[in-house]
Amino acid sequence: MSEIDMAVIKPEMMKSYIWLQTSDGSIQQVEQEIAMFCPLICQEIITKGMGSSKNSAISLPQQVTPSTLSLILDYCRFHQVPGRSNKERKSHDEKFVRMGTNRLCELVSAADSLQLRPLVDLISRALARKIEGRTPEEIREIFHLPDDLTEEEKLEPLKNITDDPRIRLLNRLYAKKRKELKERERLKNVEIEEERVDERSVDDLLTFINGNDGDSKAVKTPKNKKKNRKKKDQQKNPSLKEDSGPEKKELNGHDTCDQSSDGNIIGETSNLTYEEDGTFSPKIDFDDGDMDDGIDPAIREKIDREVEDFARRINSDWAERMQDFLTSGRERTSTLSATNGNGYLRRHA
């Protein structure tokens, strides 16, 4: 609402009332100050001049029932008072969202239709809290979700469903090239590099991506504490509970990625993601640049250089490294930006 609008309205705004019509057809009077907190109502009043009488009552979106309107107005009534401290507002909001899940859904839908962003965010957060840390069964129960995925679908939630043969071909080519490159690097840097063996089974790979599976009992994984320079602590939100250790029985039966010695994608699986050597293929529209199936030699060179840099860094001490960085850092960063834009995803050391 602009300053000018406020100035125009002010004389008439001595505790004036606005007429609103809810989804069931009933009409009620509401203090204008409070109703104006909702952008949609505000707009109706200012641009269309509605709401000043019973006949010109603002007809609210159909998601706004009388009971939800009442709640929304309570929210507005509290927050439109300017003098409140942040603590007060937060405390009010915490109590405000203590209601059943369905009511919350109804409320968020109504708030959304009225474009009342702060309330939408508040309720969305509350609903998100109901998802976090729970098993899928619990979530389905809370939200009354139908369990309508097949077992197979549950285990491969990230299968690429475009099924584009071009993508598949490209993936195979990328995988081949990447494997090639990796071999060459490995041979080159065998003394310098540490041995990095990918011991993960396909099941493990699927596990962490799934996050949580069917009936597994959740085990909360401990957090890796970051190095704390200061007294400030970082709160980490627990993720959806997952089974981090042993494989689950259901996964065993659905190996879409066959273990093969040369590491290519086997079969017509359109699963873009898991190849035995653990590398990933990008989606076709992910690349901005050229689509030739070779690997840009500049990138390769840069990768080699970076590996050597890294190895060197490991072997020198801190001060030296620091000095090193400050002088050579400039060249490195400029080459990075020069080759920017190439959509090549690679995991390397």
Partner 1 sequence: MEPEEDNSETSTTISTLPDSILCHILSFLPTRTSMATSILSRRWRHLWKDLHVLNLDGYSFSAPELSRDQVEERFVDFVNEVLHHVQVRRIQKFRLDGEVRNYSHTLSFWIDSVTSGPHLQELYLSLWNSSGSFYTLPYSVFSCTSLVSLILKGDIIVSFDNLQSVQLPSLKNLELEVISVELDKLLSHCPALEMLKVFIFFNSGGIDPNEIHLPPSLKRLTLESEACDSTVDHLEIHTPSLEYLDLSLVACYSQISVRTYPNIVEACLNICFDDMHIDWISKLLNAICGAKLLALQASTTACLVCVPSLEFPQFCCLVRLQIGFEFFNSRVLIDLLHCCCKLEVLVIHACESVSYGCLYGEPVEPSSWTQPVSVPSCVVSYLNIIEFRDYEDLEEEHEFIAYLLERGLVLKTVTIHTRTFTDKEIKDHIIKKLSVVPRGSSTCQLKLD
Binding positions for partner 1, 174-233, rule CB under 8 A: 196, 198, 200, 205, 208-213, 221-227, 229-230
Nearer to partner 1, 266 or 299 (CB): 299
Phi–psi pair at 27, nearest 5 degrees = -115, 140
**Cα 203 off chain centre by:** 24
Q: Please list every residue from 6 through 65 that binds partner 1, using CB under 8 A.
A: none
Nearer to partner 1, 132 or 262 (CB): 132
**Does 326 engage in binding with partner 1 (CB under 8 A)?**
yes
Q: Are the CB atoms for 203 and 250 separated by under 8 Å?
A: no
Nearer to partner 1, 13 or 286 (CB): 286
Q: How far is the CB of 55 from partner 1 (least distance, A)?
A: 30
Count the site residues for partner 1 by CB under 8 A: 99
Q: How far is the CB of 49 from partner 1 (least distance, A)?
A: 30
Q: How far apart are the first and last CA of the chain?
A: 55
Q: Which helix (H) or strand (E) holds 92?
A: helix 86-96
Q: Where are the beta strands (DSSP E) in 51-170?
A: 58-59
Select the residue interacting with partner 1 from 131, 162, 163, 183 (CB under 8 A): 131
Q: Please list every residue from 271 through 290 that binds partner 1, using CB under 8 A.
A: 272-273, 278, 280, 282-283, 286, 288
Q: Are the CB atoms for 118 and 127 separated by under 8 Å?
A: no
Q: Please list every residue from 233 through 262 that binds partner 1, using CB under 8 A.
A: 234, 236-240, 242, 244-245
Q: Give the count of beta carbons closer than 10 Å to the beta carbon of residue 51.
A: 24
CA distance 177 to 141: 47
Q: How far is the CB of 262 from partner 1 (least distance, A)?
A: 20
Q: How far is the CB of 13 from partner 1 (least distance, A)?
A: 27
Stretch that binds partner 1, among 4-12, 38-46, 124-132, 253-261 (CB under 8 A): 124-132
| Spatial CB neighbours of 1, under 8 Å, sequence gap ≥ 6 | 36, 42, 46
Nearer to partner 1, 72 or 272 (CB): 272
Q: List residues bridging with 18 in a β-sheet.
A: 30
Select the residue interacting with partner 1 from 77, 154, 248, 254 (CB under 8 A): 154
| Spatial CB neighbours of 179, under 8 Å, sequence gap ≥ 6 | 262, 263, 264, 277, 279
